[in-house]
Homo-oligomer: A and B are copies of this chain.
């Protein structure tokens, strides 16, 4: 396949978005490519050609994406190539991981509170509020998905 201008531009923007999340440039662009690719999957060679990067870079990026459980590959009978695709089925699990990750700060908030000597201070009480909220938030996550499921069924 050949990428349209619109597709190329989308890939770049999706790439930058993921870069801001801490991923390396090529990783983000590969995710972009797999999203806009007409077949929703691509071979190793195709990725190299469509993104104009080296085999080594693609190899490393794909290894990373597979380790992070974001990409899988399938094979086809009589074809040695691997067909890489995003695990779109798993958006729920992935999103849940993201939510838990941002709530992870609770660990530090709690440790800080334990360590501080000014327990009664305004500072500590604010931090305690935050910690309480984070606990509440974590507990709310499952019900969030359930409520969504109920709404769309």
Contact = CB atoms under 8 A, between A and B. Distances in A.
Given A10-B115, A38-B117, A88-B130, A105 B144 contact: no
A99 B134 CA distance: 12
Interface residues of A, number: 46
A14 B89 CA distance: 33
B21 A133 contact: no
A76 interface: no
Interface stretch (A43-51, A54-62, A63-71, A118-126): A118-126
B108 A14 contact: yes
Q: Is the interface of A mostly helix, strand, loop or mixed?
A: helix
B126 A151 contact: no
Interface of A: 6-7, 10, 13-14, 17, 20-22, 35-36, 38, 40, 88-89, 91-92, 95, 98-99, 102, 104-105, 108, 111-112, 115-118, 121, 123, 126-127, 129-130, 132-133, 136-137, 140, 144, 147-148, 151-152
